[in-house]
Structure 1
């Protein structure tokens, strides 16, 4: 892993830290024409991954994704501002 990639992953982590506890939508490519779209709460940030709490019909579910998933565009995030405006998360 190159130094640029490490700093890029750190930048993604730092950008997401401001959205802990806030609503986000995600679209995850699971391969073989399988995609998942969910809306939940960004629950926790860890050094190499983050957790999203999804409230489904009868239970809560936690999904884990790595920052590399965002970098490789396997996962697309949409963040919500205080007034519920959608902000597409992109790597700068």
Structure 2
């Protein structure tokens, strides 16, 4: 069950990477996986927004912190010294 503390921890982790390039892997069910890249644009109390790298149209996509906690979304921050996977804290 999602606790407020775990969700707050995920938000705090993401706050540190606002403006950074991220890789997004979203599991849509029935073996459908969507992979995209973009920039972590903003975090809000319940959701975070990623600006996608699209050629024709500027597009944004949002997810809740619960999506990260339940592992229906995987986020990886791209840095010069390597990649960092954002994951829910396990107790």
Q: TM-score, normalised by structure 1?
A: 0.89
Distance 2:87 2:62 in 1: 19
Give 1:1-92 correspondences, 5 Å limit: 5-81=3-79, 83=80, 85-92=82-89
| Structure 2 unaligned regions, length at least 5 | none
- Which has the bigger relative contact order, CA under 8 A and spacing at least 6? 2
Moved over 4 A (4+): none
RMSD: 1.4
| Structure 1 unaligned regions, length at least 5 | none
| Residue-pair matches, total | 89
Measured after TM superposition, the shift of residue 84 of structure 1 is 5.2
Measured after TM superposition, the shift of residue 71 of structure 1 is 0.3
